[in-house]
Amino acid sequence: MEKDTELLSKVSQIFLKNGAKTVTMDEIARELRVSKKTLYEKYQNKDILLEEVLSYSLEKVLEKLNDLDETIENAIERMFARDTEIEKASRTNDSIFLRQLLKYYPQIFNKHMLYFSGKLSEILMHNVERGRSQGLYRKDFDAYFYSKLFFQMTMSYDNTPYLDTQEISRSRYQEEALLFYMNAITTEKGKEVMRGLEIKKL
């Protein structure tokens, strides 16, 4: 049988395409070209497999976000790079996978999103510490609370009845959410950096 990471990567694609509720363990075994016995020996049921897939997928995103801290020194530049990764993570909202997770597996979904929210808050708070040391971020706000607000904004594109997704695209929403957050926490020096980044994007 394949290494767990290779298997979980393939199963995550199966779930994204077909949904977690819709696809069966037999179908997964067929797609992976392994016997049902082999799959069940590794994962006793679909709920366990689903948990592993969510853990694997979220850890991949967190790893990419942490890697940015190693490669980009400027706190604001890191945040704009980080927004790209968060947008990739939230694109699963377009799939049947998320809708089925919310409807049929709410406990599993909420458990993993709570974990992800906590880890993302740690990353954002570390960014705030660096930005403050660079004179780019204000010091008079609660970094933990703001990180939670940003997470809520970023991940709620499809999950609110108050937003018409026919009028506002995902990319526009993600961009405005990031700008809203960054304008709230930056100093004048930080806003100058942001203006420079926006000029480069044009």
pLDDT at 192: 96
The per-residue pLDDT for range 36-87, each reduced to its tens digit, is 999 999 999 999 999 999 999 899 889 988 888 889 999 999 998 865 555 5
Q: How far is CA 74 from the centre of its chain?
A: 22
Closest CA to 96 of 171, 22, 170: 22
Confidence label for 161 from pLDDT (cuts 50, 70 and 90): confident
Task: Name the DSSP letter for residue 93.
Answer: G
Asked if residue 191 has pLDDT above 90, the reply is yes
126 vs 170: which has the higher pLDDT = 126
Q: How far apart are CA 188 and CA 56, in angstroms?
A: 39
Structural domains in the chain, CATH included, are 60-201 (1.10.357.10)
How many other CB atoms are found less than 10 A from the CB of residue 3? 8
Q: How confident is the model at residue 91 (pLDDT cuts 50, 70, 90)?
A: low
Please report, to the nearest 10 degrees, the dihedral formed by the alpha carbons of residues 9, 11, 16, 18 taken in order. Answer: 160
pTM, to two decimals: 0.83
What integer pLDDT is reported at residue 86 of this predicted model?
Answer: 57
Read off the pLDDT of residues 115-156 as tens digits, 9 standing for 90 and up. Answer: 999 999 999 999 999 999 999 999 999 999 999 999 998 888
Q: What residues are paired with 137 via a beta bridge?
A: 186
